[in-house]
Chains A and B, each alone.
Chain A
């Protein structure tokens, strides 16, 4: 949540997530802290005499998780008696002026402050106003490196309550009622998956969080890991209790060093607080969680490959069934859920499954986090109820094309998804609607494509990704994607014949139907969806080739 209710004592929240860090949040945070620590020493004495604030301690400068509008970073929120004001792209030189304003010590009104001019962001704009933060409710408010803040914000309260008041079956009942479906892309009903694991014959079980977020343009899970890791841990602990697991892993891609660092710190803090380990929160429930870091393979986001990787084996998928819920890590029933799925669990337990199910659309309940990027004015993170239209997300919240042109298409689901043309932007964002258009929800990356981009090039880009990321185990994906890429080269270079297009479609169908895992099965989707909606751009060249 970005805007907070008015508060007596001002505070500054500086985004410390990867996006803002790369935009210079580090030096800005240091400058804000230095300015705050400098007290009022440099201020005119008359004004200093008027203030009642205690020098140096009157203004808290905190590092928090993602403040959403990543494209305008580094972001700083000032919460004061008049509510929250947001600033973007502030250089460190502007820190003193902001601190002075926040203290109420500035000699000139905020509107007239030249150092802040042009950095003020409108919190009333739809990008912020239409958000419905549930998974991200603590992200941007709590300091992800301080468990005290997470706890003060309600963190682990549901875990404590669940352990004291609910049976595992009662927990699963709430998750079933919530209608929550897997947020990693597949949309499998979470409650059903939990039941499947819980109802396996007695024995060891594992819980695994899939944090191998690898789709190009996807950074939802990273924001949760970096911004509110305790929420994920709480969700995992509740899941472990619900299915009877006492051991678990968070599998994070190595490309997320900050997330890994904060997750490890969070695990350490939770153990110190008795919220992980033996006899959690005074109950008889035990849970050990470990972080496992990936080694750069996209396919390890596929659940069976991920499990192999955790076991120390080559990260390749295997044929299912048996599903991990039946036989996962070292043959034991294993619950594997995505970050966002697990992070939604605490709020479901807090508000009740029925409350959660009332949000969203008929078959897709609750909220979904999307990361907006590409040819769009407002690049960043949004959490909206399922069923919100693509147009709302992309044009109203995202502000459309930055140059004022029309949006051409929206790519959802990364290399497994497809491109939805502008004409279909009124489609509600839910699992079924996107599938019906030949795309898929995917994990939540939304890349907006402008008029200047040729769709065969988009398809080729994603096919090149799949070629590079194929594990090589099954032949349709290993060799088929290579041949598809060669055919797409011909399309992009506008020397494809009608026979080439026929071959392209036939091979797409084959790779889709016969590949071993989801990576290969979905690899043709960017081609098929652009062929479906933008076929004229592939136009066969009469007489070209063979």
Chain B
């Protein structure tokens, strides 16, 4: 469990440490932004793309250093300022990426309900019994019980990531700095959360416009 007190907003240490030659605007370094897609439907990223013309402003103000929708980079880079993490932590790849992005990111945002509560991917947690975790239950159901005689459990170490016994919200795996709920969060809500970060302020996550789940 994370702490009962509110985490302070980390400074944009990484961006400020960089040369200002990278910045778009005068005096202010361009924010190094990443977006990550763990166990989720990508709906949060679709909603992000719904930012429409704000995307142009964003493109001027930030440098997208890692993203499934706006970057080809395969390795999560160092010195990231802000990372939007969509999705729950369901398998070992998710876990590995979550741990490494935390190491390399100043401000981690749980982006959407799956990252915050495990949400729909977390539904498999309900299918566990003593001695049989939910990963085994759903795999056996999908690959053995419902298969024809040739059914077999997927097993390809290093290629197909193993499922974790339980699907976890991101904050149960790494400390999270900001929570942006919604399934998906609307483009307006995403913009209202990101815009203050661009000027080094913490967004006010209050009221139904910013906080409502679902």
Contact = CB atoms under 8 A, between A and B. Distances in A.
A500 interface: yes
Interface in B143-193: 171-175
Nearest to A496: B1
A117 interface: no
B158 to A, nearest CB: 27
A358 interface: no
A546 interface: yes
Interface in A93-145: none
Contacts of B175: 546
Contacts of A546: 1-2, 171-175
B126 interface: no
B3 interface: yes
Binding site of A, secondary structure by majority: helix, strand, loop or mixed? Answer: helix
A503 B172 CA distance: 14
Contacts, number: 19
Q: Which of A487, A499, A500, A506 has its CB near the most chain B CB atoms (within 10 A)?
A: A499
A503 B4 contact: yes
Contacts of A500: 1
A502 interface: yes
Binding site of B, secondary structure by majority: helix, strand, loop or mixed? Answer: loop
B3 to A, nearest CB: 5
Contacts of A506: 4
A502 B174 CA distance: 17
Nearest to B172: A546
Interface in A447-499: 487, 499
A135 to B, nearest CB: 45
Nearest to B168: A546
A506 B174 CA distance: 21
A500 B173 CA distance: 14
Contacts of B4: 502-503, 506
Interface in B1-23: 1-5
A499 B171 CA distance: 13
A500 B175 CA distance: 13
Nearest to A506: B4
Contacts of B1: 487, 499-500, 503, 546
A501 B42 CA distance: 36
Interface string B119-135: 00000000000000000
Contact of A503 (B3, B171, B173, B174): B3
Contacts of A499: 1-3
Contacts of A487: 1
Nearest to B3: A499
A185 to B, nearest CB: 30
Contacts of B173: 546
Interface string B82-110: 00000000000000000000000000000
Nearest to A509: B4
A487 B4 CA distance: 13
A500 B3 CA distance: 7
A487 B2 CA distance: 12
A506 B1 CA distance: 12
Interface string A342-369: 0000000000000000000000000000
A487 B3 CA distance: 13
Interface in A307-346: none
Nearest to A505: B4
A545 B203 CA distance: 28
A120 B172 CA distance: 62
A499 B176 CA distance: 13
Q: Which of B1, B3, B174, B175 has its CB near the most chain A CB atoms (within 10 A)?
A: B1
Q: Which of A487, A500, A506, A546 has its CB near the most chain B CB atoms (within 10 A)?
A: A546
Nearest to A500: B1
Contacts of A503: 1, 3-4
A546 B102 CA distance: 13
A546 B4 CA distance: 13
Contacts of A502: 3-5
Contacts of B5: 502
A46 B175 CA distance: 92
Nearest to B174: A546
Nearest to B171: A546
A336 to B, nearest CB: 38
Contacts of B174: 546
A28 B3 CA distance: 61
Nearest to A510: B4
A506 B3 CA distance: 10
Interface in A502-546: 502-503, 506, 546
A105 B1 CA distance: 74
Nearest to B5: A502
A360 to B, nearest CB: 42
A483 to B, nearest CB: 9
A503 B2 CA distance: 8
Interface in A163-194: none
Nearest to B4: A506
A500 B171 CA distance: 13
A499 B173 CA distance: 13
A314 B157 CA distance: 55
Nearest to B1: A503
A444 B182 CA distance: 53
A502 B1 CA distance: 10
A506 B4 CA distance: 7
Q: Which of B4, B5, B171, B175 has its CB near the most chain A CB atoms (within 10 A)?
A: B4
The 6 closest A-B pairs by CB, nearest first: A506-B4, A499-B3, A503-B1, A503-B4, A502-B4, A502-B3
Interface of B: 1-5, 171-175
19 contacts: A487-B1, A499-B1, A499-B2, A499-B3, A500-B1, A502-B3, A502-B4, A502-B5, A503-B1, A503-B3, A503-B4, A506-B4, A546-B1, A546-B2, A546-B171, A546-B172, A546-B173, A546-B174, A546-B175
Given A502-B5, A546-B2, A546-B171, 5 more contacts: A487-B1, A499-B3, A502-B4, A546-B173, A546-B174
